[in-house]
A and B are shown apart, each in its own frame.
Chain A
Amino acid sequence: MAFESLRSNGRAQLVLGLLTGIVFGFLLQKGQVTEYEVILGQLLLTDFTVVKVMLTAVLVGMIGVYAMKSLGAARLHCRMGSVGATVAGGLVFGAGFATLGYCPGTAAAAVGAGAMDALVGMVGMVAGAGLFARIYPRLDRTILNRGKFPAVTIPELLHLPPWVVVVAVAILIPVVFYGLTRLGF
């Protein structure tokens, strides 16, 4: 692959990580999802900015990543989920999402825009991630592997060729946007 040497170049990846973060932080701030009020507005279902940003990124990203995959320029990185890991962890994350009012990416960006409560949240996230690393062996033995999902990807689950699902999602997302607009969001 043409980018193999770049991908394995540790120093270049440091620069790429930094540049990716700068662009990501710029876009999150301009998209206003670094605002506590916008995130809570989404979770109270009074403001759909977060959903609009996320679903547009999914739509554009999906088409590009699947196009690059079919050209042999990109690989997918999907992992098997389970009820004990994905659902349980997801609900804990959701509780934290509403309590902090930012998520891991938007918290860092909110700090860049001056939100000092988000900085406290970042310290909490380091502690929470460290806590998970501490209890990981016990969770791995008891809950993480409970209720393995039947498939890794949605096309596998539905026994459909990936491109059919890509087209379906690419139609569905604009329909959701149209619905949100009709509802006055």
Chain B
Amino acid sequence: MFEYLTMVSWSPYVAGAGIGVLIWTTFLLSDHPLGCSTGYLKTAGMVETAVSREKAGAMPYYRQFVPSVDWWWMLIIGLVIGAFLSSTLSGTFSLVLVPPMFAEAFGTGWPLRFAVALAGGILLGLGARWAGGCTSGHGISGTLQLSLASWVAAACFFAGGIVVAGLLYGFPYL
């Protein structure tokens, strides 16, 4: 059992099946889908509230998604801890500033990578709330409920991603 936890990686089918079972428990014990973008929104709302409680309280979107430390926010903290445990157990934890693939194409300097990552993050946060979910909320939890919006959203995530990835690195299949 312990050997299994110290493996560098698992089959994607095993990891995926585990996520499927985890979503059963979320529906059963928490009565909602498993999504990640809400936690980021709550953080943004807490920042707005810290700057001006009055202004944040008057924003219609924060009336729908009240900024607070809740299930969604704790999920993000847990994600960091869980991956830290997994990578530490397998001995693969390492501090990396620039992923090797990015470094090879665009150079090893971290300022460029951080600027690109910041821009990508802004688009992700904006797009996830705009579409009503992310790769986990729509892409897994929504599609498995056979939600039409989630299947369309997942297709658009990949369509947009495939185009931009091709623009960055070239289209290897063309």
Using a CB–CB cutoff of 8 Å, the interface residues on chain A facing chain B are 3, 6-7, 10, 13-37, 40, 43-46, 49, 52-62, 64-65, 68, 73-82, 85-101, 103-118, 120-134, 136-137, 139-140, 144, 149, 151-157, 162, 165-166, 169, 177
Contact = CB atoms under 8 A, between A and B. Distances in A.
A58 to B, nearest CB: 5
Contact of B20 (A18, A59, A111, A153): A59
A62 B19 CA distance: 11
A47 B16 CA distance: 16
A65 B128 contact: no
Given A21-B81, A130-B125, A133-B48, A74 B28 contact: yes
A133 B41 contact: yes
B20 A60 contact: yes
A76 B169 contact: no
Given A24-B79, A45-B173, A74 B163 contact: no
Given A21-B81, A129-B37, A139 B130 contact: yes
A182 B25 CA distance: 34
14 contacts: A3-B31, A24-B19, A30-B90, A35-B99, A56-B19, A92-B126, A95-B163, A98-B164, A99-B116, A103-B139, A117-B110, A124-B117, A125-B40, A128-B128
B44 A62 contact: no
Contacts of B34: 20, 24
Contacts of B28: 3, 68, 73-74
A54 B136 CA distance: 8
Contact of B16 (A16, A23, A60, A62): A60
Given A36-B101, A79-B149, A100-B121, A89 B82 contact: no
Given A25-B82, A109-B80, A120 B17 contact: no
A30 B10 contact: yes
Interface string B132-147: 1011101111111111
A24 B30 CA distance: 15
A30 B166 CA distance: 27
A30 B92 contact: no
Interface in B16-38: 16-34, 36-37
B152 to A, nearest CB: 5
Nearest to B69: A14
A88 B148 CA distance: 15
A104 B32 contact: no
A24 B29 CA distance: 16
A57 B93 contact: no
Contact of A81 (B29, B59, B152, B157): B152
Q: Which of A33, A81, A111 has the most chain B CB atoms closer than 10 A to its own CB?
A: A81
Contact of B9 (A18, A31, A123, A149): A31
A42 B105 CA distance: 17
Contact of A108 (B19, B80, B129): B80
A44 B165 contact: yes
A108 B79 CA distance: 6
The CB with the most chain A CB atoms within 10 A, among B70, B99, B154, is that of: B99
